[in-house]
Amino acid sequence: MSNVTHVYTSITSNYLPKARVLAESVKRADPQVCFHVVLSDNTPVGFDLASEPFDNLIYAEELVTAGFPAWAFGHSVVELCTAVKGAALEHLFERYDAGMVFYFDPDMVVFGRLDDLQQSLSGHSLILTPHLTDPDTTDMGVLDNEVASLRHGVYNLGFLGVRNVPEGRRFARWWRERLHKYCHDDLPRGLFTDQKWVDLAPCFFDGVGILRSPAYNVATWNIVNRQATGSLESGILINGEPLGFYHFSGFDSGDQITMLQRYGTRSPVLHELRDWYIQACERHGQSSLGTLPAKYDRFSDGEPVLRGYRLLYRQREDLQRAFPNPFLVDGSDCYKAWYDAHPAEHPPVGAVKIASGTPIATVLADLASHFNAMIVAGQGRGRLRRYALRAWVMLLHLASRVAGGRPAR
């Protein structure tokens, strides 16, 4: 078994600048680390692995070889980059005989303490970081952070460490299987890509370590209880501990700055850190690469793959058999043409199709799923509108449980 620590992240090409910043930070913390990028996309023009801070590039097609186009089509780009994480973990164990594997989201930066993570993992089969390690004390904080953790998952899967021991391998196999079939953003039905699944990990597997240090996975959802001091030059401390790694989640959507302004007033150095991150990403090509369209976000003719195309295809095995590569647009004998020619098979935009006699519990659940889809598709732009839509989803989901005779939990 290899003593080299392996680290990987999962991206589309527009996230290359962020992945470069992450890889450089990992290499500063431990130059011996082997860093892998899992790419669910084409490489951009001029890409040269030899000049990158990455040691290896793994294409998503290498990880899911059977029927990849059909499988990929059933996922949004975000879902796809997440769904391959489990397969990539097993690949690193099998291909490289890696003793330890860490996953970091591309929008993270490691500032040190990688040796502490390695030491912690050496005593566990896997290690996780919760979104929160302290209770919130205000209603706003409870709604923003604690309720969000209940809905999206207790542990933030922007980070994960797994050791190559029987229990770690058993976890990797289970996680790969679940993500292959059920890695979707469907909150009304209890799914949020990979995160909600790992809520079950401490129940299913032995040796699960929960890292409660405030210095790990620092993000806007937990900074209300984590004060940052120091400076970029001398080092940042989180509640007096050296910063391990910071998560710039929500950076592109604008949520990161909104929540930083709300909860980061006690930690002005975090605003300096954000400015540094903007400059670091820019040095690595953010302006030129950050808006690249993703390969699996479009049909072969360049038209975007809207959510309705994906949902119907994912639900219909007959369509999967008839159109094994649904991305391909080739005259009238392709999935896109079939879908466009059969509007009765899918609900019109902004509406939910409900068959006569459908139980009220199912109707409410379908409505909840529809409004959640609006959020995912970006129709809930603006924080207040997203809050309103999410509240409506929660009410519909609760009502569906009551109507179905289930506890309103």
- What pLDDT was estimated at residue 380? 47
- What pLDDT was estimated at residue 400? 59
Lowest mean pLDDT among 29-38, 183-192, 263-272: 183-192
Is it the case that residue 381 has pLDDT exceeding 50?
no
Residue whose C-alpha is closest to residue 217's, from 73, 105, 64: 105
- What pLDDT was estimated at residue 348? 47
Higher model confidence: residue 401 or residue 162?
162
Q: How confident is the model at residue 382 (pLDDT cuts 50, 70, 90)?
A: low
- What pLDDT was estimated at residue 392? 62
Lowest mean pLDDT among 52-56, 120-124, 132-136, 401-405: 401-405
- Bridge partner list, 304: 298
Task: Note the pLDDT tens digit of each residue in 227-237.
Answer: 999 999 999 99
Q: How confident is the model at residue 327 (pLDDT cuts 50, 70, 90)?
A: very high
Question: Buried b / exposed e across 75-92, counting CB within 10 Å, b at 16+?
Answer: bbbbbbbbbbbbbbbbbb
Mean pLDDT score, 251-259? 90
Both tokens assigned to 360: 């009220």
CA dist 101 and 1 (Å) reads: 12
- What pLDDT was estimated at residue 408? 44
- What pLDDT was estimated at residue 346? 73
- What pLDDT was estimated at residue 189? 83
Is it the case that residue 269 has pLDDT exceeding 60?
yes
Task: Note the pLDDT tens digit of each residue in 154-207.
Answer: 999 999 999 999 999 999 999 999 999 999 998 888 899 999 999 999 999 999
Longest dimension (CA), the chain: 67
- What pLDDT was estimated at residue 399? 63
Question: What single-letter amino acid sits at 266?
Answer: R
Q: How confident is the model at residue 401 (pLDDT cuts 50, 70, 90)?
A: low
CA dist 25 and 112 (Å) reads: 8
Mean pLDDT score, 49-67? 96
Is it the case that residue 378 has pLDDT exceeding 90?
no
Question: Percent of the chain at pLDDT above 90?
Answer: 76
CA dist 149 and 141 (Å) reads: 11
Please report the DSSP string for 364-405 in residue order: HHHHHHHHHHHHHTTTT-SHHHHHHHHHHHHHHHHHHHHHTT
Higher model confidence: residue 391 or residue 70?
70
Q: Would you kindly state where each structural domain of the chain is located, as residue ranges?
A: 2-287, 351-409
CA dist 336 and 345 (Å) reads: 13
- What pLDDT was estimated at residue 29? 96
| Helix, strand, or coil (residue 347) | coil
- What pLDDT was estimated at residue 373? 58
The highest-level CATH class for domain 2-287 is alpha beta
170 contacts 204 by C-beta, under 8 angstroms: no
Q: How confident is the model at residue 74 (pLDDT cuts 50, 70, 90)?
A: very high
Please report the DSSP string for 17-79 in residue order: HHHHHHHHHHHHH-TT-EEEEEESSPPPTT--GGGSS-SEEEEHHHH--TTHHHHHHTS-HHH
What does the mean pLDDT of the chain come to? 90
| Helix, strand, or coil (residue 358) | coil
Question: Percent of the chain at pLDDT above 70?
Answer: 85
Mean pLDDT score, 31-50? 97
Is it the case that residue 377 has pLDDT exceeding 80?
no
Q: Return all residues near 389 (Cβ < 8 A) that are at least 6 apart.
A: 371, 372, 374, 375, 380
Mean pLDDT score, 26-46? 97
Residue whose C-alpha is closest to residue 23's, from 114, 150, 155, 133: 114
Task: Note the pLDDT tens digit of each residue in 80-111.
Answer: 999 999 999 999 999 999 999 999 999 999 99
What pTM value is reported for the model? 0.85
